[in-house]
Structure 1
Amino acid sequence: MDTKATSYPKDKIKILLLENISDKAVELFRANGYSNIQKLSGALSEENLVKAIKDVHLLGIRSKSMITPEVLSAAQKLQAIGCFCIGVNQVNLKEATRQGVAVFNAPYSNTRSVAELVIGAAIMLIRRIPDKNTAAHKGIWLKEAAGSYELRGKTLGIIGYGNIGSQVSVLAEALGMKVCFYDTETKMPLGNAVDKKTLHDLVASADVVTLHVPDLPTTKNLINESVIKSFKKGGILINYARGEVVDLTALSEAITAGHISGAAIDVFPEEPEKNGDSFDTPLKNLSNVILTPHIGGSTQEAQQNIGEDVSNKLFQFLEKGITNGSHTVPALNLPPQEGAHRILHIHKNVPGVLSAINTEMSKHDINIVGQYLKTNDEIGYVVLDIDKKLSSHAAELLRQVKGTIKVRLLY
């Protein structure tokens, strides 16, 4: 059996890729037989996305496209969303779950790119390279060692000890740094890293503080005026996480006052929609500050890795019904059944649905070769392998089961 074959012709599956997703993803889709692909360089407004998504089966986005309930309601044929980035906060996951739309991302693919840039920024800031670079561009020779230090022997404080934070930890120790971290969850330290019990303890202990936390209500302005006051005098702050995590006005005042000696900021509370748009921040033109346009994970290697990771998850779902890595549809990973057709059934998680499915199949003498069920709080996901001769009839019966959200005859 060719598990790559689908009952719905691949050339009819409409794919919309926004925000200049890596060409590697497009190559993979074409290599797997998907030819109906539209790729756009930028994001779309909610109004334009509502118009564009009506007949789309598969949507690929990065971090700018906001997938609201209105967008999802207009997506009459949407099967899955691929977030070609680390986060999924740009998608209304609750509504996507209700509508049975699988949402995938690439949580690990740009880890190394971000980690390397954090270490690079730390070196630049502790040597005060931004100021020397600015002076040289102005024709001023500023050869001095004042305020310039090595990273070796200094303490790096990591807030958020997940995939990226732990990778930064390893790189920092290799440079001879001491490492401490703070996380709201218990994490196993790597190397000689020390777990700090409070945020204030961490920032008071560190020469350089780097943030690696998600965008949550609990992390908004996590680094605020009160926390900044606990920093070591002359401390450095690096944020390659999320824009809402740092109170930039408080940070600007601390830099101006000399309490914070430098900062590298890559993410901002409000960011321009596209290249060339105007941009403003309280940190502009401050001494020893590196500002970058949300490029922490923007390397060729990371974009290729993301393109491969998310594309492969989408293929697994479209062609086999596998939902590993989905944030909405319960995770199932199942082997193919020889001599059977596979049907996917997504339904509201209410009592009696599985019983109703089995009753309908039994009533019509339809043999179930294999059956798999997984649920979350909102929905249930059933995969049925049905005798080939009866699969079309079975799919129609399944659409009539009370509580059904989506039915798809896979192959």
Structure 2
Amino acid sequence: MLNSFNKDVRVLFLDPLPSTAVEIFRTSGFKIDECFEKLTEAQLVKKITEYNVVCLSYQVWSQAACYWSLWQNANCVDLEVAQSMGIPVFTSPFQHQGSVAEITISFIVLLARQIGDRSKEIHTGEWNKMSAGCTEVRGKTIGIVGYGQVGSQLGVMAEALSLEVVFYDTQSVMPMGRAKARKTLDEVLKESDYVALNVTSTPENVKLIGKRELGLMKKTAFLINASYGEAVDIDALAEAIKAGTIRGCALDAFPNQPNGKKAEFKTHSKDLRTCDITVEGEMRVGTEVANALVNNIKLGSTVGTANFPSISAWPLKPGTRRIINVHRNVRGVLQEIDYILSSYNVGKQILDTKESLGYIIADIATEEVTTEIVSQLALLAHTVKTRIL
């Protein structure tokens, strides 16, 4: 397939996006259309075929030339299908990390002081001033499961509240502040008054916390999940709270979100449920993803993609044209590409692969690229897409 973005780039917004992203696209000369109403799958497929870029916050599937997922991760996108079609999926998994750490700290205080219950009571005219079950957080222990970008920030914030910090991570990582690493997840569960999950969406983390793990926690402990919804067995959690195995929980991530089944977790007075998003975090996400996507269209850069090899493209020099080839990563394909390019003066070339996909950028010292070279690359058996800049 041959693609070129020399003409106007058309962008479709399927969800309202941050003003920072809108401004970046407009400054780049892109034409923006909006479609916020609910569409059937057939209507959606027909709609997006008219656009080069599709921008969204939640879940759709696209055959457009580019694809943008605005959320913290790409759980709502079939990355394997998008990759096979040569569609890069842009995400911003780290710009919300401060917001997630903050809301976890908020959960700890809210749960310890039963603020959710007291607020509901006062709103219904009931004045129930009581200290039973309300505790201070200082001196308590928070166990962080997953000590990465969010987990390490959370540990620093927790120490500011005089919490003791222990953590478990599958990787060997350097502790921040006075945090102490534990060798196993079980150690963290047994020791902690608050267990905070900050794990990624991998198969190994599905139902990481189930009936057995909940049974290891203190009866006075709380479970907090603000990362990956599938990491907690919701049915086991509901039963653990009902049986008094643990004291309560706070959830900011749910299985099958955003369309999780409401009946999976009936209301308990000992749980808090929210959906965290901040203006600052959303703005940072919008800026990062929009800039990454513009760099992909104008330079061929793939930094910020979830399903492509990450290549930071360089500015295109005067008197050169850039060939971008997306191909299946199979034996012999690079030899075929190099054979075609060998007839030209290639000034700079870079190749990287990710899983079954290969991505090559080659700058050719010529003002004009003949139809022959483009056709030759596009017609290779393992070529997915070829672009010219």
What is residue 145 of structure 2 aligned with on the other side?
159
Amino acid at match of 2:20: K
Tell me the alpha carbon deviations over residues 284-321 of structure 1, each in whole angstroms, 9 at most, x when there is no partner: 1x2232122xx22x111111110001001101111111
Query: What SS does structure 2 have at the residue aligned with 1:345?
Result: strand
Tell me the alpha carbon deviations over residues 360-390 of structure 1, each in whole angstroms, 9 at most, x when there is no partner: 3445xx3222222222331221112123343
Name which of structure 1's ranges 123-132 and 332-341 shifts more when overlaid on structure 2.
332-341
What is residue 3 of structure 1 aligned with on the other side?
none
For 2:308 and 2:261, locate their aligned partners in 1 and report how far apart those are by CA, in whole Å: 39
Q: Does 1:348 align with 2:328?
A: yes
Query: What SS does structure 1 have at the residue aligned with 2:368?
Result: helix
**Which of residues 173, 193, 210 is equivalent to 2:179?**
193
For 1:386 and 1:318, locate their aligned partners in 2 and report how far apart those are by CA, in whole Å: 18
What is residue 263 of structure 1 aligned with on the other side?
249
1:100–1:328 Cα contact (<8 Å) kept: no
For 1:207 and 1:400, locate their aligned partners in 2 and report how far apart those are by CA, in whole Å: 61
Amino acid at match of 1:289: D
For 1:104 and 1:16, locate their aligned partners in 2 and report how far apart those are by CA, in whole Å: 15
What is residue 298 of structure 2 aligned with on the other side?
319
Provide TM-score, normalisation by structure 1. Answer: 0.87
What is residue 319 of structure 2 aligned with on the other side?
339
Amino acid at match of 2:23: E
Distance change >3 Å, CA 38–CA 369, structure 1 → 2 = same
Name which of structure 1's ranges 215-224 and 169-178 shifts more when overlaid on structure 2.
215-224
Tell me the alpha carbon deviations over residues 379-406 of structure 1, each in whole angstroms, 9 at most, x when there is no partner: 2211121233431433233223342111
Query: What SS does structure 2 have at the residue aligned with 1:356?
Result: helix
What is residue 380 of structure 1 aligned with on the other side?
358
1:209-248 alignment to 2 at 5 Å? 209-248=195-234
Provide TM-score, normalisation by structure 2. Answer: 0.91
What is residue 288 of structure 2 aligned with on the other side?
309
2:5–2:297 Cα contact (<8 Å) kept: no
Query: What SS does structure 2 have at the residue aligned with 1:234?
Result: coil
Q: Does 1:124 align with 2:139?
A: no
Q: Does 1:57 align with 2:52?
A: yes
What is residue 19 of structure 1 aligned with on the other side?
15
For 1:217 and 1:136, locate their aligned partners in 2 and report how far apart those are by CA, in whole Å: 43
Q: Does 1:8 align with 2:5?
A: yes
For 2:175 and 2:258, locate their aligned partners in 1 and report how far apart those are by CA, in whole Å: 37
Distance change >3 Å, CA 7–CA 399, structure 1 → 2 = closer
For 1:202 and 1:377, locate their aligned partners in 2 and report how far apart those are by CA, in whole Å: 34
What is residue 282 of structure 1 aligned with on the other side?
265
2:20–2:286 Cα contact (<8 Å) kept: yes
2:289–2:304 Cα contact (<8 Å) kept: no
For 2:148 and 2:99, locate their aligned partners in 1 and report how far apart those are by CA, in whole Å: 15
For 1:93 and 1:270, locate their aligned partners in 2 and report how far apart those are by CA, in whole Å: 17
1:64-213 alignment to 2 at 5 Å? 64-67=58-61, 71=62, 75=63, 78-213=64-199
For 1:221 and 1:330, locate their aligned partners in 2 and report how far apart those are by CA, in whole Å: 29
**Total equivalences in the alignment:** 385
Query: What SS does structure 1 have at the residue aligned with 2:308?
Result: coil
For 2:75 and 2:139, locate their aligned partners in 1 and report how far apart those are by CA, in whole Å: 37
Superposition RMSD on alpha carbons, in Å? 2.3
- Identity among equivalent positions (%) equals 36
Distance change >3 Å, CA 362–CA 157, structure 1 → 2 = closer
Tell me the alpha carbon deviations over residues 217-264 of structure 1, each in whole angstroms, 9 at most, x when there is no partner: 322222211111111111111111222222223222222333322211
Tell me the alpha carbon deviations over residues 181-239 of structure 1, each in whole angstroms, 9 at most, x when there is no partner: 11222222111111122222111100011111123332222221111111111111111
**Which of residues 20, 36, 41 is equivalent to 2:36?**
41
What is residue 338 of structure 2 aligned with on the other side?
358
Distance change >3 Å, CA 108–CA 320, structure 1 → 2 = same
For 1:245 and 1:360, locate their aligned partners in 2 and report how far apart those are by CA, in whole Å: 48
For 1:278 and 1:401, locate their aligned partners in 2 and report how far apart those are by CA, in whole Å: 46
Displacement of 1:138: 2.2
Displacement of 1:117: 0.8
Tell me the alpha carbon deviations over residues 1-33 of structure 1, each in whole angstroms, 9 at most, x when there is no partner: xxxxx963453x221222322232122101111
For 2:367 and 2:115, locate their aligned partners in 1 and report how far apart those are by CA, in whole Å: 71
Amino acid at match of 1:24: T
Tell me the alpha carbon deviations over residues 75-124 of structure 1, each in whole angstroms, 9 at most, x when there is no partner: 1xx33222212211222222222222222210111111111111011101
1:17–1:38 Cα contact (<8 Å) kept: yes
1:200–1:227 Cα contact (<8 Å) kept: yes
Displacement of 1:270: 4.1
| Unaligned segments of structure 1, at least 5 residues | 1-5
